[in-house]
């Protein structure tokens, strides 16, 4: 079986989502489905057609449908050569790959010497390279000439090396913003100046070009390998790559419950793993941080089963999801079931896998249409990857609905201004005007918002309705807005973390303690009287809070006070901005999927009772 993308078991969306940045955005705003990747600058389909001598003008309607729309200078798109990250190929190839540097053509001292398989060997390079820009450092080798007098051979060796020139590699300075953009319509057979034939190097140069040229979206970008920058922001897409799983606890693991277990984990056969910042393409190379229940790396995560499996294999197979999707599952489970049943969640997955059936969720058409071998990234469906919990545009709307300093505010008041009632012939024929307010409220509470709007237009008896009515409508029509009803809308711990930060923290912590090993050894040997105190102070590991996480936490859902919230204003602002609130639109979609899962859990538990 070829490459297939694993999907979130809850929302049905791929973890390997890509985003194309605009020319005014930093490099960090662009990302591909795998760490350190981005959407390639060259149009692969167009390049292949050019190599085959195909002319776009020759296409008829039937044939042109086989190829996706492609970007061009007319769409305003461009590309950037990521030269600093190009780690393969001789310097001559770097020059060929659209580098604006002709120094090697005119420099008679330039020599390229192959280093073979030894990547750490000396690297000859253009003598005109500016050594001050961080690409290379150059100098004289300094060697301590004091050595063992008895070892003449070593002394001679040191003396012979003392004045040798040395060259070493250093990481280049990688810019965060780009200012030089290349035309996306460059011909495939040469550089931007059309002078060089890349195939002379025999290193699949076309693919090398594509990998190291990043696509930059213009206003008319039609690239479907990533979502376009004008349609969704990086803030809205936070954590779209993050993976967490439910996995069976190791047999006879002690203690039976971990100190950081959620309540629903303590008595369960399953536990929440740490976080991964991407879903790997291989089955058995999941790696998460931190390790929990002794599980960190080397296990499987799978959301679809196309071949026969066994319960033993399933016990070692994680059920993958976005942590934010699982937060919605937690909120819905508490409301509908009164508890979070992760055992049944995994078991219905297992039963479907053993029977080679699909997980019991029917996703909306937008999701199913995107689920091809590689996620489609269709325009207009960006909301599918918007964070459904930490929603940038929703947070200020929710905060503005809370009334804190108006003593006269009451949810029993009408949100509309009072107007004088006219006693005309129409009013005399209005049967609702004779009804008491209590009966008016009973009628209105049974209706949906379109019917209420129609009544307010047809009868003045419904002109003034209490603000509390719109709380009722929010809970009824948008139950996914759990800020309106949940007693604890605060996201669960793992959904508030950034997987990239956890991984970086682990790497830096390991580096910190590795660097302490030698000083600790010296202190213990030379100054044992202060060793313990010094080690205690030196081993104080600290890690600053990630600023991105701090910004994300400001968007956390909050519990709205029933008596001090202007529910009409909240309802109006949300329904009036429904399309622009991508995260909330996605949350509503995921809520529907979660309710289907909970229905399946209830049916599963019902079957257990019967048996």
pLDDT of 14: 95
The token duo for 541 is: 């590991």
pLDDT at 142 over 50: no
Residue 557 lies in a domain: no
What single-letter DSSP state applies at residue 558? -
44 vs 59: CA distance, rounded Å: 17
Residue 156 lies in a domain: no
pLDDT of 93: 42
Backbone phi and psi for residue 399, each to the nearest 5 degrees, phi listed first: -65, -40
3-state helix, strand, coil in the chain (%, to 5): 40, 10, 50
Both 34 and 103 in a single domain?
yes
Backbone phi and psi for residue 301, each to the nearest 5 degrees, phi listed first: -135, 130
196 vs 108: CA distance, rounded Å: 20
Both 95 and 225 in a single domain?
yes
In terms of pLDDT, which residue wins out, 430 or 14? 14
pLDDT grade, residue 398 (50/70/90)?
A: very high
Both 198 and 250 in a single domain?
no
Both 275 and 196 in a single domain?
no
DSSP assignments along 125-170, one per residue: --TTS-GGGSSEEEEEPP------TT-HHHHHHHHHHTT-EEEEE-
Both 205 and 265 in a single domain?
no
Residue 44 lies in a domain: yes
Q: If phi over 0 gives left and psi between -120 and 50 gives alpha, with beta otherwise, what is residue 241? A: alpha
Both 210 and 334 in a single domain?
no
Backbone phi and psi for residue 517, each to the nearest 5 degrees, phi listed first: -60, -50
pLDDT at 487 over 60: yes
| Portion of the chain with pLDDT greater than 70, in percent | 71
Q: If phi over 0 gives left and psi between -120 and 50 gives alpha, with beta otherwise, what is residue 320? A: beta
Residue 446 lies in a domain: no
In terms of pLDDT, which residue wins out, 176 or 93? 176
Nearest C-alpha neighbor of 396 from the set 200, 130, 577 = 577
- pLDDT tens across 190-245, in order? 444 333 444 444 445 555 555 678 999 999 999 999 999 999 999 999 999 999 99
pLDDT at 39 over 80: yes
Mean pLDDT along residues 536-553: 90
Task: State which of 137-151, 247-261, 305-319, 587-601 shows the largest mean pLDDT.
Answer: 587-601
Both 270 and 355 in a single domain?
yes
Both 42 and 102 in a single domain?
yes
| CB contact at 8 A, 317 and 301 | yes
| Portion of the chain with pLDDT greater than 90, in percent | 47
pLDDT at 154 over 70: no
In terms of pLDDT, which residue wins out, 114 or 437? 437
Name the least confident of 91-105, 275-289, 381-395, 499-513. Answer: 91-105
pLDDT of 176: 87
Residue 423 lies in a domain: no
What range does the domain containing 321 cover?
244-371+594-610
pLDDT of 55: 52
Both 71 and 193 in a single domain?
yes
pLDDT at 324 over 70: yes
pLDDT of 467: 95
The token duo for 600 is: 């399946």
- Total residues belonging to the chain: 611
Long-range contacts of 61-70 (CB under 8 A, 24+ apart): 68/222, 68/224, 69/222, 69/224, 70/43, 70/45, 70/46, 70/222, 70/223
CA distances to 21, 205, 228, 468, 551 from 214, in Å: 9, 15, 13, 52, 28
386 vs 322: CA distance, rounded Å: 11
pLDDT of 127: 45
Residue 341 lies in a domain: yes
pLDDT of 68: 57
Number of domains in the chain: 3
Name the least confident of 5-9, 49-53, 354-358, 525-529. Answer: 49-53
Both 181 and 269 in a single domain?
no
Residue 6 lies in a domain: no
Both 212 and 280 in a single domain?
no
DSSP assignments along 22-33, one per residue: PTTS-GGG-B-S
**What is the residue-averaged pLDDT of the chain?**
80
Question: Considering 529, 545, 561, which residue would you say is the last residue of a domain?
Answer: 545
Residue 102 lies in a domain: yes
Both 221 and 258 in a single domain?
no
Nearest C-alpha neighbor of 107 from the set 126, 132, 135 = 126
101 vs 81: CA distance, rounded Å: 13
Whether cis (ω within 30° of 0) applies to the bond prior to 255 is yes
544 vs 112: CA distance, rounded Å: 45
16 vs 35: CA distance, rounded Å: 10
């Amino acid at each position: 079986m070829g490459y297939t993308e694993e999907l979130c078991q809850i929302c049905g969306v791929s973890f390997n989502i890509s985003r194309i940045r605009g020319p005014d955005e930093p490099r960090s705003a662009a990302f591909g489905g795998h760490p350190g990747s981005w959407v390639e600058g060259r149009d692969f389909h167009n390049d292949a057609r050019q190599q085959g001598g195909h002319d776009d003008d020759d296409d008829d309607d039937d044939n042109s449908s086989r190829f996706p729309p492609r970007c061009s200078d007319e769409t305003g798109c461009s590309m950037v050569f990521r030269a600093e990250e190009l780690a393969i190929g001789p310097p001559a190839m770097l020059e060929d790959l659209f580098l604006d540097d002709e120094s090697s053509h005119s420099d008679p001292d330039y020599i390229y010497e192959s280093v073979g398989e030894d990547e750490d060997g000396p690297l000859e390079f253009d003598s005109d390279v500016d050594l001050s820009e961080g690409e290379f450092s150059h100098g004289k080798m300094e060697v301590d000439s004091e050595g063992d007098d008895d070892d003449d051979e070593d002394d001679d060796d040191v003396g012979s090396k003392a004045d040798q020139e040395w060259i070493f590699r250093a990481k280049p300075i990688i810019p965060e913003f780009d200012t030089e953009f290349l035309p996306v319509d460059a011909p495939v057979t040469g550089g931007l100046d059309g002078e060089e034939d890349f195939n002379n190097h025999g290193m699949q140069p076309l693919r090398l070009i594509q990998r190291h040229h990043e696509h930059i979206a213009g206003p008319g970008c039609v690239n479907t390998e990533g979502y376009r920058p004008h349609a969704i922001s990086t803030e809205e897409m936070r954590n779209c790559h993050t993976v967490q799983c439910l996995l069976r606890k190791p047999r006879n693991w002690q203690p039976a419950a971990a100190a950081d277990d959620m309540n629903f984990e303590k008595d369960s056969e399953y536990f929440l793993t740490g976080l991964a910042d991407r879903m790997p393409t291989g089955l058995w190379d999941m790696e998460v941080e931190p390790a929990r229940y002794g599980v960190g790396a080397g296990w499987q995560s799978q959301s679809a089963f196309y071949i026969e499996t066994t319960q033993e294999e399933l016990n070692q197979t994680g059920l993958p999801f976005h942590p934010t999707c699982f937060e919605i599952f937690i909120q819905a489970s508490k409301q509908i079931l009164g508890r979070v049943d992760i055992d049944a969640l995994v078991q219905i997955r297992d039963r479907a896998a053993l029977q080679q059936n699909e997980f019991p969720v029917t996703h909306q058409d937008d999701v199913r249409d995107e689920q091809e071998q590689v996620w489609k990234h269709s325009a207009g469906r960006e909301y599918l990857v918007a964070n459904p919990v930490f929603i940038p545009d929703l947070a200020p709307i929710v905060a503005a609905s809370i009334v804190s300093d108006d003593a006269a505010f009451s949810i029993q008041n009408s949100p509309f201004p009072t107007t004088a009632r006219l006693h005309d012939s129409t009013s005399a024929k209005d049967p609702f005007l004779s009804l008491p307010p209590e009966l008016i409220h009973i009628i209105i509470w049974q209706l949906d918002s379109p019917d209420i709007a129609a009544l307010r237009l047809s009868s003045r008896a419904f002109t003034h309705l209490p603000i509390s009515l719109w709380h009722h409508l929010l809970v009824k029509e948008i139950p996914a807005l759990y800020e309106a009803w949940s007693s604890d809308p605060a996201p669960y711990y793992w959904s508030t973390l950034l997987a990239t930060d956890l991984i970086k923290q682990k790497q830096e912590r390991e580096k910190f303690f590795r660097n302490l090993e030698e000083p600790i050894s010296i202190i213990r040997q030379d100054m044992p009287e202060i060793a313990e105190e010094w080690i205690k102070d030196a081993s104080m590991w600290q890690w600053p809070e990630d600023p991105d996480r701090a910004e994300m936490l400001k968007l956390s859902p909050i519990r709205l006070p029933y008596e001090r919230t202007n529910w009409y204003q909240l309802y109006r602002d949300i329904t009036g901005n429904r399309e622009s609130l991508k995260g909330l639109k996605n949350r509503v979609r995921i809520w529907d999927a979660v309710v289907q899962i909970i229905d399946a859990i209830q049916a599963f538990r019902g079957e257990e009772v019967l048996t």
